[in-house]
A and B are shown apart, each in its own frame.
Chain A
Amino acid sequence: METNHNILEIKDLSVSYTVANVVTHVLEKVNLTVPKGKSIGLVGESGCGKTTTMRAILGVLPSNANIESGEILFDGTDVLKMPYNQLQEFRQTGAGLIFQDPSSALNPVISIKKQFLTSLKYAHKDKDYSSAQLYDKAIEALNAVSLADPDRIMNSFPFQLSGGMRQRVCIAMTLAGEKAILLADEPGTALDVTIQDQILRLIKDLVETLDLSVIMVTHSLGVIRQVTTEVNVMYAGSIVEGGDTHQVFEHPSHPYTIALMECLPKLTGTGISEGIPGRIPDYDNPPAGCRFYPRCPYALDRCQFEVPGKTIVEDDHWVACFAAEEGKVCPK
């Protein structure tokens, strides 16, 4: 196997939503590459398009979303152009999504057992497992996410479980599917730190043992640092900086990334950080140039009208920012 094989490549993906006849351009030319066996991070404020990107990969965007342009290549085949059967196969074995909201991702009137076994039945369709084997797999996965008494959980309905338990059930369900790519949309937001830690470690282990690839979506830079080898910083529907996690953390170059890092609470810090002034722009009328322009402390005149291209910062690290290109961004 070639070393630089990319299992998933998103090219210039633009997605808009139509809400009450207003078109909102949420994703603007998103590019994302997932090398096989690597975990990459996608970080950004809530509302910046992370979840939309994840849903677009599996073809489960809401019905008012339109994919305007772009490609999503899985092993070289465009997911967006796949016929139904091939798309189903991709969903069954190609990529699995861990949903962000544990309270709504499980069907309220169907037992966990039925939901779990149905999902595993299709994920392992070609392996000819008996239902007892599938059940064992489910129990094993529930054990792996440290849920006590997995048999009881299997026979429960979602409303009988706590939020954290439901989220772990969802995580276990997706992990037990053993799909090629794991799309983890803020896993662990409802979990306490120790369990979250454990789950991140579990995902890390899976990457190593099963040669799994992961897209870790989060707004927590700490998680990114812990789990990923590459990071993409997303702002208002575009990726503004990306590259090797270590390099990006060492030399954050986009004003937004820098601001994000300053927001990180430090154990040695003295107070609460100031946050980033302003808010994500309206998507129905985004700024013509750089979308961060209205909030950017380093903004140049041209930022208002032109969209910055990629500038190489280091060998495996790029940024899309005119100020950085001109060397005018200086982190504290």
Chain B
Amino acid sequence: MLLFKSITRRLASSIVVLLGLTVVIFALMKAVPGDPARLALGPNAPEEVLEHYREVNHLNEPLPVQYFYWLSNAVQGDFGISSYTQRAVSQDIKDFAPATIELVIWAGIPPLFIALFLGVISAQHRNKWPDYLTRFLGYVFVATPTFVFAVLFVLIFGYWLPVMPTIGGRLSPQFAITPVTGLYILDALIGGQPAAAWDAFLHLLFPALALSLGKTMQEARITRSSMLQNAGKDYITMVTSQGVPRKIVNRQFLLKPSVIPTITVMGMDFASLFGNAFLVERIFNWPGLSSYGMNAILNKDSNAVIAVVLIIGMAFVGTSIVVDIVAMILDPRMRQARTR
């Protein structure tokens, strides 16, 4: 019940956040030089056609009025027409978002568990080889930009050891998947096509790895340092002094308070992937929202940009709510603070 109350409160406040976000991005897009009508219709369009376009799209109205036109359409799921793809922005998002969502899920969730595992191992073997190894890999992986990994993977696993489908994309052409959720691996499994699921997995594996390696090692280091910090706390000394076996102390008393910072950091990493995946999406030819948003920006496609920013904002808000819920489950102090 406490959880439910605080979730509704968070949802209500996130609507305000998202509205603020749309105002800012709307104003920014309008401040960018260039005539949207000219951009949409091309350099050779006659003046009457341009004027008609402006009239239909309310471009002659003052900015606040334009915003409210946009907002009333947006709440009905209509984000206008993309001047670049010439399709409804909502349709574009429907097509591109699931690819990024699938990529981000695989680049965000399994690596969290790997990070926790590595963090625990290096804390338990502090200043021994497992710790040095994760520290070394941590520096290397955090310092290497994701697109470098992407290019290396294409070279190594696409060319030298051809395990990865080099054409890229989400699926090899011989497979066809009936979309249910838009997440191909899941859809293939639902449709009873294990071979297609495996193919989709191979397509996904390397972009997901490229995106997650640096963050995984960073999260592992955070887990390690918070475990070591907590290991010196009185409450761990107390259970140790009571003769509780080391394994139980570590698993039941030390791990729980130590994973909370990692989960918080991971939540932010996860949300930022939505916007930052475009280089990796480009290299692996991944038809995702992030590269769609990049194209939209390069082409001054304001309707698409605003919609993509809004979607990324929603992803941020959504993950931070999920992270808060997990933190509240782990840390009773947070439950109290939220309901007060």
Contacts and interface: CB of A to CB of B under 8 A. Distances in A.
Contact of A122 (B238, B244, B330): B244
B232 A108 contact: no
A108 B235 contact: yes
Interface in A38-77: 55, 58, 60, 62-63
A122 B232 contact: no
Interface in B235-282: 235-245, 248, 252-253, 256-257, 260
Nearest to A107: B235
Size range of the chain B interface in the assembly: 20 to 34
A29 interface: no
A282 to B, nearest CB: 23
A109 interface: yes
A145 interface: no
B46 interface: no
Contact of A99 (B238, B253, B257, B260): B238
A92 B243 CA distance: 5
A105 B242 contact: no
B5 interface: no
Contact of A104 (B233, B244, B248, B253): B233
Nearest to B260: A109
A110 interface: yes
Contacts of A91: 240-243
A281 B153 CA distance: 62
Nearest to B330: A109
A114 B253 CA distance: 10
A89 B331 contact: no
Contacts of B252: 110, 114, 118
A109 B232 contact: no
Given A104-B235, A108-B235, A119-B239, 11 more contacts: A90-B243, A92-B242, A97-B238, A108-B333, A109-B333, A110-B256, A118-B242, A157-B332, A159-B332, A159-B333, A159-B336
Given A58-B241, A97-B241, A119-B242, A106 B232 contact: no
Nearest to B230: A107
Contacts of B237: 55, 60, 99
Contacts of B332: 108-109, 111, 157, 159
A118 B236 CA distance: 13
A114 B91 CA distance: 53
A115 interface: yes
A234 to B, nearest CB: 21
Given A62-B232, A104-B233, A96 B330 contact: no
Interface string B90-125: 000000000000000000000000000000000000
Interface string A189-224: 000000000000000000000000000000000000
Q: Which 10 A-B pairs have the closest CB atoms?
A: A91-B243, A92-B243, A104-B234, A107-B235, A157-B332, A58-B241, A119-B242, A60-B241, A105-B234, A88-B243
Interface in B51-103: none
Contact of A177 (B242, B248, B256): B242
Contacts of A108: 235, 257, 331-333
B243 A109 contact: no
Interface in A92-137: 92-93, 96-97, 99, 101, 104-111, 114-115, 118-119, 122-123
Contacts of A110: 252-253, 256
Nearest to B233: A104
Contacts of A90: 243
B242 A106 contact: no
Contacts of A101: 234
A8 to B, nearest CB: 15
A99 B232 CA distance: 14
A224 to B, nearest CB: 24
Given A107-B257, A109-B332, A118-B248, A96 B235 contact: no
28 contacts: A62-B232, A88-B245, A91-B240, A93-B243, A99-B234, A101-B234, A104-B233, A104-B235, A106-B238, A107-B253, A108-B331, A108-B332, A109-B257, A109-B330, A109-B331, A110-B253, A111-B332, A118-B242, A118-B248, A119-B239, A119-B242, A119-B244, A122-B244, A122-B245, A123-B243, A157-B332, A159-B333, A170-B238
A51 to B, nearest CB: 11
A177 B244 CA distance: 12
Given A101-B234, A107-B257, A109-B256, A122 B243 contact: yes
Nearest to A122: B243
Contact of A118 (B241, B244, B256, B260): B244
Contact of A96 (B240, B242, B245, B336): B242
Contacts of B241: 55, 58, 60, 91, 96-97
A89 B234 CA distance: 20
B80 to A, nearest CB: 48
A217 B336 CA distance: 36
A93 B241 CA distance: 11
